[in-house]
Amino acid sequence: MSLHQLHIIHPSVHRATPRHAMESWRTLLAAAVLLGPLLLVLRRSGNNNPRGRRLPPGPPAVPLFGNLLWLRHSSVDVEPLLKRLFNKYGPVVTLRVGTRLNVFVADRRLAHAALVGAGTALADRPRPVANSLLGVSANIITSTSYGPMWRLLRRNLVSETLHPSRVLQFAPARAWVRRVLMEKLREAGAAPCDVVEAFQYTMFCLLVLMCFGERLDEPAVRAIADAERAWLLHISAKLGVFFFLPSITRHLFRGRLQAARALRRRQMELLVPLIDARREYKRQGTAAERRPETTLQHSYVDTLLDIALPEEGHRRLSDDEIVTLCSEFLNGGTDTTSTGLQWIMAELVKNPTVQEKLYSDIRYTCGDGEVSEDDIHNMPYLKAVVLEGLRKHPPGHFLLPHNAAEDTDVGGYLIPKGATVNFMVAEMGRDGNQWTEPMEFLPERFLEGGDGVGVDMTGTREIRMMPFGAGRRICPGLAIATLHLEYFVANMVREFKWEEVPGLKVEFAEKQEFTTVMKKPLRPRLVPRNVLSAEQRHA
């Protein structure tokens, strides 16, 4: 569920600061001046417009030089910049970055034609340059090329970990994380609560437990979280430069690669022992000692250890490949869910009438009891609140980039083979032609008589909102992510009344990080409601 800037241009890059962008721009510009003869080659390689066919419109660019200017824009600038280009050129815009053609799509019908109608033609991903430079496995579901390896890895995740029967097995993990989250929120007392940190930590706890099948203590969880965060920050701030002429930049920025390798070693040090422990647990089978309170019977790592690659002599995945897939699993479900929770709870703080209506629905369904996973299936207003949050505030404003495997026609425009295609998620969910008062938070639109009733979240029939993408590359975690949002939102509203703090006004300005977060993080006052927990009732 991942975006990416030059996060939107490359799938492994998430954020670049203005200072880093300027540093890279100056160095690359100097290199380009010294390597002027390469421009002739670059011009020829960048000319991928077959005669007589029309590319989407866009601003003029000189190969290399014209596109280096884009590095002067931080990720904060990219979305407003694209909006200005859409206003000028229409809903499909072409930009060149280096020698690569990039197409940006803001129209929902064209997005459906490209993601669903075009089939496999746009189901590929751009090749992640950084992985090859670092010698790190690129075999992950989000960025592996469309083909046998991708199908195998995705099918394994969907059928062995995200299947409804497996999701049910993870219910004890969610119940434990719910208790941890409530404890973290209670610690604030009457003071404004740093809910973002609590959301990020507890969602990471949940993903670690699902991934490795073992409940870890807080220092161990935080060590893994810190290592993953450091890796992603370095990738985003330092390695985007290798997308441009990697054969040259790998020498100019050797120190960045060395630092990345050190961070990768730290990942391996932390995750390989957990993988080995699960390998031993599986080897012992029924004789293995299992602690029901801390050990899950099933984990994502179990499924990775069972994979045999038929295209490669049925070999098993290496530790490097498993660590990379575990890292994808941990990061893919943490920031997106914690960001979604922050936006939804911010709207409930800002709209107390909606919050109280939701609380009434919870009390009607559950009485004084905790909200169970069975209960949320009987709460249409809860589902409407979550859907409205995802429509107005999708955690990612761009889909992960797609790559054209062949020349493709979309809306009368040529998308040439090798082009990168990006889709504007937020633009579609906020389209005033499709949604009444799109910038208002109105959960009722998803109830009977509303303009969102029956919306197709998968985008199969049509695209009106697509927080999880659409087509062959749709996020495989759509169902479980929605479950997590509904489950934790319901329990937080049941437990606390969420109030705005004087002087800490809730503002909906956006900031691009790994996801699109609140520029001013949510810090509400949490007032405990007069309800009894299950533990208290049975004391």
Annotated binding site for heme: 475
Q: What is the DSSP letter of 467?
A: T
The span from the CA of 147 to the CA of 119, in Å, is 13
Closest CA to 456 of 443, 473, 469: 469
Going by the annotation, the residues of the binding site are 475
Taking Cα atoms as reference points, which of 493, 467, 494 lies closest to residue 479? 467
From CA 210, how far away is CA 313, in angstroms rounded?
29
Tell me if 297 sits within 8 A of 166, measured CB to CB: no
Cβ proximity of 73 and 81 under 8 Å: yes
Beta strand extents in 480-519 (DSSP E only) = 496-499, 510-512, 516-518
Contact 512, 5 (CB under 8 A): yes
Secondary structure element (H or E) that encloses residue 409, with its range: strand 408-410
Distance (Å, whole) CA 185 – CA 380: 26
HSE-CB at 247 with a 13 A cutoff on CA atoms is 2
H runs (alpha helix) in 139-253: 148-160, 164-169, 171-186, 195-212, 218-238, 246-252
DSSP string, 309-338: EGGGTTEEPPHHHHHHHHHHHHHHHHHHHH
User: b/e per residue, 198-234, with b = 16+ CB within 10 A?
Assistant: bbbbbbbbbbbbbbbbbbbeeeebeebbebbbebbeb
Q: Long-range CB contacts (< 8 A, 24+ apart) of 258-261? A: 259/234, 260/130, 260/134, 260/231, 260/234, 260/235, 261/134
Alpha helix stretches (DSSP H) within 47-147: 65-68, 75-89, 108-112, 129-134
- To the nearest 5 percent, what fractions of the chain are helix, strand and coil? 55, 10, 35
Specify the pairing of strand 402-403 against strand 413-415.
unpaired
Neighbours of 91 (CB within 10 A): 17
